[in-house]
Amino acid sequence: MPTILESYQITQILQYRYPFLLIDRVTEYVKDDSLKAVKAVSAGEPYFAGHFPNFPIMPGVLITEALAQASSLMMVLNNLDWKPSDPIPSFHTTTIGVLGNVQISFLKSVLPGSLLELDVKLDWRKGSASSVNVKASVEGSVCAKGKITVMSVDQNTIFS
């Protein structure tokens, strides 16, 4: 699996940091179409201590968040007209957030030690809103799938 963006490069684009950055690297990106990323699910993740002590599984809400972050990253890269051969874009004032429409089905548990593969594909785009088909898999077995709607917002307008 080739690496297009490492986690330190992702932090230059998205404003997430550990422990809430849930993408470790991007392995594929096609402008205005799709993005593939991975999250190494470590046994040392803080949520495993309480979810659940005798049978640790990654919480569904964090799988959903990882898919939302991958969707957001794809949209930011699309907005910046970035190609994998380009240098990492400089900081910008666009924030991508979930618009409120999240439909995810959970099919299998994600256990510590897994390499969670995140696949996002653009469904439609209208203005600053986009619908993204999402899928999370471990070793080719689908753990979660569905659709997330994301929207770009200029930080200058929401924080002024």
CA atoms in the 13 A half-sphere facing the CB of 141: 11
Q: Between 152 and 93, where is the model more confident?
A: 152
What token pair was written down for 65? 């968040």
Sequence ranges of the domains in the chain: 5-158
The pTM for the full model equals 0.92
pLDDT for 149: 93
Q: Which of 18-22, 103-107, 109-113, 135-139 has the lowest average pLDDT? A: 18-22
CATH code reported for the domain at 5-158: 3.10.129.10
Asked if 36 contacts 28 with a C-beta cutoff of 8 angstroms, the reply is yes
Question: What are the residue numbers of the active site?
Answer: 51
Distance CA 56, CA 113 (A): 11
Q: Which of 121, 128, 135 is nearest to 150 (CA)?
A: 128
Nearest in space to 26 (alpha carbons), one of 88, 79, 80 = 88
Are 120 and 130 spatial neighbours (Cβ–Cβ below 8 Å)? no
pLDDT tens profile 35-69:
999 999 999 999 999 999 899 999 999 999 999 99
